[in-house]
Amino acid sequence: MSENTATATAVPLVRPVADTNTTFAILISLSVCHLLNDMNQSLVPAIYPILKDAYTLDFGQIGMITLAFQMTASMLQPVVGMVTDRHPQPFSLPVAMCCSLAGLLMLSVSDSYPMILLSAALVGVGSSVFHPEASRVARMASGGRYGFAQSLFQLGGSSGSAIGPLLAAFIVVPRGQASIAWFSAAALLAMLLLANVSLWYSRHPAMAARRGKRAPVPAASALPRKTVIVALCVLLVLLFSKNVYTSSLSSYYTFYLIEKFHLTVQNAQFHLFAFLGAVAIGTFAGGPIGDRFGRKPVIWFSILGAFPFALMLPYAGLAWTGILSVIIGLILASAFTAILVYAQELMPGRVGTVAGMVFGFSFGLGGLGAAALGRIADWTSIETVYQAVSFLPVIGLLTAFLPDIEKPRRLR
């Protein structure tokens, strides 16, 4: 065989022709819908003070609302991912947003505690269906740039989570519970965009090839089963470290600033918005960097790299507290996309299952972490909480136990 023939034969192993076509219109639509979904989703905890006063709820009942939302938003996601891996449902995306729309409308007119619980659960159901399937479509539209596609998708969600509380402060808090219905317009817009995405999804060559055939058995990993299980356990522990620390800032940062530096509520919210904005930027940056240098180096840097800044935060003055929180947000947030894409490559053929597991575990840990840290703050103080959680990023050392699954690709 000649040298030219050998070279031509090897080219498809590096980058198939189909992988070069990144569908930006679909990725942008998914990112915008993720923004609208997570913006509406963030309204649920944002209106807790209104619900508490209007229905004389105690903190235990508030916790049950969170549990109703988190149970449907986190626990159902892996199940949805496993089902859709076997039987993809292109039009489940607008249906998911329809569930969120119904939950928001019910929440705006709820006049009893059971109805509030049902409304929160419906919003969670919409989220649990949206995230795994949208992540799958983002990977299909990536053109092989998996990290970039997931980062663009996550940028929308992070931005929505940052914008939601601000909109709640300016719209829902002064105008009351009924004004939640105004956000149904965002859900309707997302449904229209997702209907177009679903049409593209249903016409994709991968879907066309499966029509009339049984769902294929997911591809087996090239790694031994024990290695895959260990790697997944390490990833879940790393998610624990990242999400519990992040929830300590997103949930209690304003209280910390008010208690320690005597800021007004408005000034404290500006600091929180700066942190959440840094999280959005860091989330987006992690994907392209992972595409260029590999997922494992990004995981190393993003979790362990935040450790020295987290250690300094509880002892810093006001100016440095704001700077350090932004740095921590930028570094720590880049881990999510890298972990998601790494896990999808670790378990080929199970894109939905992995996405559902990662998203669901993240939501669940965020809720449980916030509740546990709140109890610790009640027993001790907010400052003690930040001193304790500052050691969580050191768990990033466990990244050493992750197999280097991208090494063969780099050698090739």
User: What is the pLDDT, as a whole number, of residue 408?
Assistant: 45
Between CA 355 and CA 210, with CA 291 as vertex, the angle to 5 degrees is 45
Are residues 77 and 360 in contact, defined by beta-carbon separation less than 8 angstroms? yes
Show the domains of the chain with their CATH numbers: 21-216 (1.20.1250.20), 222-412 (1.20.1250.20)
* pLDDT for residue 218 is more than 60: no
| DSSP structure class, residue 317 | -
Q: Is the pLDDT of residue 2 over 50?
A: no
Q: Report, as an integer, the average pLDDT of 266-292.
A: 82
Helix/strand/coil for 21: coil
CA–CA dist 210, 134 (Å, integer):
19
Instruction: Yes or no: say if 26 and 141 are a contact pair by the CB < 8 Å rule.
Output: yes
Q: What is the model's pTM?
A: 0.71
Identify the residue with better confidence: 371 or 17.
371
For residue 178, the tally of other CB atoms under 10 A from its CB is: 11
Cα separation, 148 vs 154, in Å, equals 10
In a 10 Å sphere around its CB, with 0-12 CB exposed, 13-18 middle and 19+ buried, how is residue 274 labelled?
middle
Residue 188 clears pLDDT 90, i.e. is over it: yes
pLDDT at 117 over 60: yes
Looking at residue 75, what DSSP letter applies? I
Residue 189 has pLDDT above 90, yes or no: yes
Q: What is the pLDDT of residue 54?
A: 83
Q: What angle do CA 257, 376, 58 make, to 5 degrees?
A: 90
Point out the least confidently predicted range of 271-285, 295-309, 310-324, 381-395.
Answer: 271-285
Give Cα 231 to chain centroid, integer Å.
20
pLDDT confidence of residue 155: 84
pLDDT at 18 over 70: no
**Angle at 193 (CA atoms; ends 189, 195), nearest 5 degrees:** 115
pLDDT score of 59: 60
Mean predicted confidence (pLDDT) in 138-157: 85
Q: Which two tokens stand for residue 213?
A: 């055939």
Task: Report which residue type is found at 78.
Answer: P
3-state secondary structure of 54: helix
pLDDT band at 15 (very low <50, low <70, confident <90, very high): very low
More confident position, 64 or 213: 64
Gyration radius of the chain over CA positions:
22
What does the mean pLDDT of the chain come to? 80
For residue 175, CA distances in Å to 3, 45, 172 come to 73, 16, 5
How confident is the model over 129-158, as a mean pLDDT? 85
19 vs 302 pLDDT, higher one: 302
Answer whether residue 351 shows pLDDT above 80: no
Going by C-alpha positions, the residue among 3, 124, 102, 120 that lies closest to residue 51 is 120
Q: How many other CB atoms are found less than 10 A from the CB of residue 236?
A: 15
With bands split at pLDDT 50, 70 and 90, how would you rate the model's confidence at 5?
very low
For residues 404-409, give the mean pLDDT.
62
Classify residue 8 as exposed, middle or buried by CB count within 10 Å of its CB (0-12, 13-18, 19+): exposed
- Higher model confidence: residue 77 or residue 362? 77
CA separation, residue 48 to residues 51, 54, 169 (Å): 5, 10, 12
pLDDT, tens digit (0-9, with 9 covering 90-100), for 100-112: 899 999 998 888 8
- Looking at 15-75, list the stretches that DSSP marks H as alpha helix, in order from N- to C-terminal side: 24-41, 43-46, 48-54, 59-70
Residues written for the chain: 412
- Contact partners, residue 320, CB within 8 Å, separation at least 6: 312
Residue 206 has pLDDT above 70, yes or no: no
Q: Provide mean pLDDT across the span 77-82.
A: 79
CA distance 277 to 232: 29
